[in-house]
């Protein structure tokens, strides 16, 4: 896999995994009984975006490594 293909594939995987990771552990302000005046009660009370971005990067790296292995061992013709 060329480095540009690898980078493009990681970029796509990272964004797809991000949308899967974002809803984990989200509690609304209404559920936490901590509604900030002027905000939507359904807005996240503590979104913990830094932790989610870190977890997303690790998971995307693992998925990319698996995709790279499959590409190298099963997709490329021998020779």
Q: Is 41:35 a contact under the CB 8 Å cutoff?
A: yes
Is pLDDT larger for residue 78 or for residue 42?
42
Mean pLDDT for 49-59 is: 96
pLDDT at 72: 87
Give the structural domain span for 45. Answer: 3-75
How much is the pLDDT for 49? 94
Q: What are phi and psi of 46, to 5 degrees?
A: -135, 95
Task: Choose between 79 and 16: higher pLDDT.
Answer: 16
Q: How many domains are contained in the chain?
A: 1
Arithmetic mean of pLDDT, 66-77: 86
């Amino acid at each position: 896999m060329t480095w540009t293909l690898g980078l493009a594939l990681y970029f796509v995987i990272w964004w797809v995994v991000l949308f899967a990771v974002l809803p984990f552990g989200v509690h609304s302000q209404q559920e936490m009984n901590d509604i900030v005046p002027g905000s939507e009660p359904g807005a996240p009370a503590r979104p913990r975006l830094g932790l989610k971005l870190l977890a997303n990067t690790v998971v995307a790296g693992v998925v990319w490594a698996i995709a790279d292995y499959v590409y190298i061992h099963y997709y490329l013709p021998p020779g």
